[in-house]
Amino acid sequence: MHEPSTPSEHDERGERAELIEQLAARWATMTPPIRPSREDQARFARALDDAPLPRDARVLLLGSTPELRSMVLERGHRLTGCDIDDLFWHAMARLRTTDGPETFIHGNWLDLVEGHYDLVLGDCAFNMLGWDDMGRLVPKIAALLDRGGRAIFRIQARNPDHDLRTLEDAIADFPAERTGQAFLVAHHFLVESLRSTLHPEMTNRQFYEAVVSRFLSPEQLQRLLPLTRDKRNFYPEMSALQALLRRDFEIAHQQPCPSPGAWDTAHLFVLVPRADKTEG
């Protein structure tokens, strides 16, 4: 028989449930390219269906992306997710379109022990890390895959065709009355690409204050700053990213993901562990 909960325990559960609801409601308002577009989802689905997976494949998801969780569950695969934020994981369950059993690992991707997975998935997961940690994550993913496994990721890379003039023109073309979340979503990939190129030492918020602010009115900046983050989404150069991936994988397929607002930074990669990494 369970002991009755104390008022503080009850309050904590209530606060947790409220936070989960708030996170789910906020993420539900996010639009592509922050969330994968329908076209991006179709690319993931084709790559998933083309992979030589068993019927009940063991799939590891890096992150909490509800679209990818739904995609795996509707195919009857066994899904394990890993996220450093357990509240976000539970919140994103509210946005799945398919229900099903999931296993959750609360922790850092870089701390995962070698496992036995047929597929590792992620949407923008690589770009949550800096360059050095990307270098640690790639062999980690290869070690987590069984022989014949695959990895499928949407990854951002810097766009060398863009500079601050591109950003200035993009901001000038954007409706002034949509300065809040709509502005951040529309320009996020462009801003992070430029920040990674020009000032990788800055956080997202610092880059807005030091660089983006020159193209905004004080009122616009004041509305935006509370929505910016003290984080860095690192976008490597494409050639460097490909070289990093090829240390442990063959790039079986690479496809641009030109969703509106992606600013030609996003690509879908299908990765196959190199034979010399899986022998023995």
The model's pLDDT over 46-96, given as tens digits with 9 standing for 90+, comes to 999 999 999 999 999 999 999 999 999 999 999 999 999 999 999 999 999
Residue 227: phi and psi, rounded to 5, are -95, -10
Q: What is the mean pLDDT of residues 252-262?
A: 95
Q: What is the pLDDT of residue 8?
A: 66
Q: What is the mean pLDDT of residues 218-224?
A: 92
Q: What is the mean pLDDT of residues 96-124?
A: 94
Q: What is the pLDDT of residue 1?
A: 45
Render pLDDT for 148-205 as a digit per residue (tens, 0 to 9): 999 999 999 999 999 999 999 999 999 988 889 999 999 999 999 999 999 999 999 9
Q: What is the pLDDT of residue 138?
A: 98
Say yes or no to pLDDT of 115 above 80: no
Band of pLDDT at residue 114, cut at 50, 70 and 90: confident
State pTM to two decimals. 0.92
Percent of the chain with pLDDT over 90: 88
Task: Provide long-range contacts, Cβ within 8 A and 24+ apart, for 72-78.
Answer: 72/48, 72/121, 73/98, 73/99, 73/100, 73/102, 74/98, 74/100, 75/48, 77/53, 77/119, 78/103
Q: What is the pLDDT of residue 47?
A: 98
* CA gap 53, 160 in Å, rounded: 36
* CA gap 152, 86 in Å, rounded: 23
Q: Which two tokens stand for residue 196?
A: 């990674």
Say yes or no to pLDDT of 280 above 50: no
On average, the pLDDT of the chain sits at: 93
Q: What is the mean pLDDT of residues 31-45?
A: 96
Q: What is the pLDDT of residue 5?
A: 55
For the CA atoms of the chain, what is the radius of gyration?
20
* CA gap 104, 20 in Å, rounded: 16
88 against 115, higher pLDDT: 88
Work out the angle at residue 157's Cα, subtended by the Cα atoms of residues 166 and 144, and round it to the nearest 5 degrees.
Answer: 160
